[in-house]
Structure 1
Amino acid sequence: MEVAKRKPNWSEIELFALFVTVNANINEIRGHFGPSLTSHDKTRIWPQVAESVNAVNASSVIRSVADCQKKWQDVKSVTKVLESLTRTQVEGIQG
């Protein structure tokens, strides 16, 4: 039985490409559905994000759309936790 190898960690340049591309399209990614923003509009952004990440990737690892979406979700979660900790510490000092 062949064991699946895990992909290597994201490099700094891959993360930077992810951040830049997502931030350039943040209104479409986080926007509310409506006549001017459909589900199709939101899903067509992610292949562009994956393409930009893979364009700067020096290794032979190809990041899929699912990989990029998962990484973005993980980064958002960690950021929220760190912001919450910072806010708690500041309130503790001021309180």
Structure 2
Amino acid sequence: MEDIACKRSKNFSKQELEVMVDEIIIRKRLLFGKLDSMITSENKKRAWAKVAQTVSAVADIGIVCDVNAVRKKWADIKSIVKKKGNGEGKRVEKNRRREDYNPAGPTGGEIVGGDCRNVS
């Protein structure tokens, strides 16, 4: 029985990531659009192959980025950006709500029976 070692794939360089994002933006409608007469699954496969080919062209010699690696990396980038965006947005919104919260309302009165009345 042969022991096959699994190698971790090479990390994408900054240049490869930039090229990948640029190529995906150029083909955004085709890659992520709904299937119709112009956007077929075959066209999508060709577009992803073209993105992978372009990324491989700027990669180090001997490194070939396959379609699955490029799609996986794109999904990872989207997830990271989404998490950063959601976390920051929630933090800002939470602080904003805390600062704006005034149960007595803008007049500084007292809440009585669901109404805000000035108590003098």
> TM-score normalized by structure 2?
0.73
Q: Report the AA paired with residue 91 of structure 1.
A: E
Deviation, structure 1 residue 14: 0.8
Larger C-alpha radius of gyration, 1 or 2?
A: 2
- Aligned partner of 1:3 in structure 2 is 5
Q: How does 1:55-74 map to 2 (within 5 A)?
A: 55-74=57-76
Structure having the larger proportion of residues in helix: 1
**Shift of residue 68 of structure 1?**
0.5
The unaligned stretches of length 5 or more in structure 2 are: 98-120
Amino acid at match of 2:17: L
Matched, 1:46 2:23: no
CA shift for structure 1 position 33: 1.3
Between the aligned partners of 1:38 and 1:7, the Cα distance in structure 2 is: 30
Secondary structure of the corresponding residue to residue 87 of structure 1: helix
4+ residue runs of structure 1 moved beyond 4 angstroms?
Answer: none
Letter in 2 for 1:18: M
TM-align CA RMSD = 1.2
How many residues are treated as equivalent by the alignment? 95
Mapped to 2, the partners of 1:5 and 1:51 lie a distance apart of 21
Task: Report the identity percentage.
Answer: 28
The 1-side partners of 2:17 and 2:65 are apart by: 11
- The reply on whether 1:81 has 2:83 as its aligned counterpart is yes
Alignment correspondent of 1:34: 36
1:35 partner amino acid: S
Which structure has more strand as a fraction of its residues? 2
